[in-house]
């Protein structure tokens, strides 16, 4: 009988872990509907939503700055290649 490949064993282990997490999810970190931060209120939901909005706004700004720097390097390199080559 041929031994299972490493990829097959890894896939089986991941499926088992995912199944265990999904089975344990309803009971995880909650007691009587109260999670780690206490009861959910409108104020807490609003602050979390504002945090999500701020995160994505900051993400767009940072990624745009990175892309601008990379474009500047690309244009400088293209200019140098035309000038020297």
Q: Is residue 63 part of a domain?
A: yes
Whole-prediction pTM: 0.56
Which domain does 64 fall in, by range? Answer: 6-29+41-84
d(CA 22, CA 59): 30
Lookup result for tokens 């990379």: 70
Q: Is residue 1 part of a domain?
A: no
Q: Is residue 14 part of a domain?
A: yes
Query: Do residues 69 and 62 touch, judged by C-beta distance below 8 A?
Result: no
Q: Is residue 34 part of a domain?
A: no
Q: Is residue 49 part of a domain?
A: yes
Task: Assess whether pLDDT exceeds 70 at residue 29.
Answer: no
d(CA 64, CA 83): 28
Quick: pLDDT tens for 49-85. Answer: 999 999 999 999 999 999 999 999 999 999 999 999 7
Task: Assess whether pLDDT exceeds 60 at residue 48.
Answer: yes
With cut-offs at 50, 70 and 90, classify the pLDDT of residue 2: low
Count of domains forming the chain: 1
Task: Assess whether pLDDT exceeds 70 at residue 28.
Answer: no
Q: Is residue 35 part of a domain?
A: no
Question: Residue 85 is inside which H or E element, if any?
Answer: none
Q: Which of 27, 47, 24, 23 is nearest to 35 (CA)?
A: 27
């Amino acid at each position: 009988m041929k031994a299972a490949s490493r990829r097959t064993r890894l896939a089986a282990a991941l499926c088992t872990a995912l199944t265990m997490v999904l089975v344990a999810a309803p009971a995880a970190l909650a007691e009587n509907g109260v999670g780690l931060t206490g009861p959910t209120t409108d104020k807490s939901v609003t602050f979390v939503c504002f945090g999500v909005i701020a995160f994505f706004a900051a993400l767009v700004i940072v990624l745009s700055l990175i892309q601008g720097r990379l474009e500047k390097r690309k244009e400088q390199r293209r200019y140098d290649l035309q000038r020297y080559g």
